[in-house]
A and B are shown apart, each in its own frame.
Chain A
């Protein structure tokens, strides 16, 4: 583990002495916003701009409760769980810790925005990264809330729920094992997962860590929401209808669509249910890929673990998730 204060992470001394933009700037922005409001109402008269703004705000707002949950769990681990306890609870050998951590993902109800801060916290308290990544990938896909919403979206098709569970779990474990085989710690950027205040009372530490993690993850969530809104506004979704034919191409196509539209994992089953022109296996790929790789998740991962890690990890995860969905779909559906 690298400590957050490692020398190479520190900014150049000259930059650090810049005066901090503070409360005055926040206040000025808000006051300016209120004063300029009448002048800016015409901004959204173009339907594309309005569409973008609505989706941007919608993704951000929709993710907030889950982000708050994830940040609370992350801060609670930092403040209230004795150091080393979670690492001791997991099997010592990484090969066994990975499936255990992937299965533990079922315990975090919520969507993918919440699992990133928790996984980052796990890495920072000494859990083997392979296990933390297995948890990161499995939690948004196999928790009870998501499985129930999948069952509701696909009435009369319980195999869809089972296939999603099996394929997501298999892909998470495969990614954990892949990290053991190929992963390099130097790809990880540990500073994002630092605790804010090591000193002080536990409650103070909990609140300070929560604030730090929320601003960190929330900022990257905003980038991801903006990117997803842009793609949704510019790329017509019915583009993919043209490749709705049986075979591996449609599986890949819905995998790519899941990356681009960045849906919440609690809602993606309802969209998948509506994509009736696609085979069940292709729709399974949509449900397996979405919670593991998407535009907003990439922004969150890049901010938390570093962009060099996020690129490699997202590409590998996409390949593993599509393969897993294809195999499980061929077997179960």
Chain B
């Protein structure tokens, strides 16, 4: 890798990180709290790359061969080319947020043992809730704390073999999409055809104790929405 190519690679990685952090697209891949860290890392890399580009331009007039020739380890830096792979992947196809493909394959959240104990929900209004909290409340004394209060859940449709209704899921991530684990809730009581796989929906309804123990929401309303800015919980 020549000196200007190396500097440009560093600059490109830095620029990409800045773009992801500023544009908010990073939320598809890592936890939202990491934005500032990505921005700082991107700025540092971009600065480092700029320094290298300036130096390479200055060297160009002086000597034909890069400085590293004297040390004989230049061949080892070919590996640096690979850093262009994530850059190209993001420029070319911009991978989407994790979808239903991984739901059945990831480790399920086990909320049944050692779970939290919840206070009852206030009656008479609709409570927005994460799928994880809904599952945890169902695991706590068979969902007593949910009562008949309406809750609103947001997730994407994931395939299931249920006879009636369909399932929605949403991932929790602690750091990045590689550590995602999904919470799943079954939705029943909707009229019309079930939404397409991976379609994001917001469902409002009340808890229904299902015979097979799957957390179930009896829906009173269902709306298809576009993918949220932060697709994870």
* A residues at B contact (CB < 8 Å): 4-5, 9-11, 15-16, 20-23, 25-27, 29-30, 33-34, 36-37, 40-41, 43-44, 47-48, 50-51, 53-62, 64-65, 67-68, 72, 149, 153, 191-192, 194, 196-197, 204, 207-208, 210-212, 214-216, 218-220, 222-223, 225-226, 228-229, 232, 236-238, 240-241, 261-264, 266-271, 274-277, 303
Contact = CB atoms under 8 A, between A and B. Distances in A.
Nearest to A51: B101
A223 B82 contact: yes
A22 B6 CA distance: 8
Given A61-B26, A274-B107, A222 B48 contact: no
Contacts of A208: 55
B127 interface: no
Contacts of B71: 4-5, 194, 196
A220 B79 contact: yes
A4 B73 contact: yes
A30 B11 CA distance: 13
B215 interface: no
A80 B179 CA distance: 37
Contact of B174 (A61, A64, A270): A270
B175 interface: yes
A62 B174 contact: no
A267 B172 CA distance: 12
A47 B100 contact: yes
A61 B37 CA distance: 11
Contact of B68 (A57, A65, A196, A271): A196
B126 interface: no
Contacts of B30: 58, 61-62
A236 B106 CA distance: 6
B175 A264 contact: yes
A198 B197 CA distance: 58
Nearest to A153: B174
Given A44-B96, A56-B89, A50 B178 contact: no
A120 B158 CA distance: 45
Given A211-B48, A237-B107, A57 B86 contact: yes
Interface in B96-125: 96-102, 104-114
Nearest to A267: B175
B131 interface: no
A216 B175 contact: no
A222 B95 contact: no
A237 B107 CA distance: 6
Contact of A238 (B52, B93, B106): B106
Nearest to A220: B79
Given A61-B26, A238-B106, A15 B75 contact: yes
A234 to B, nearest CB: 9
A57 B178 contact: no
A34 B176 CA distance: 26
B10 A62 contact: no
A70 to B, nearest CB: 11
Nearest to B30: A62
A27 to B, nearest CB: 8
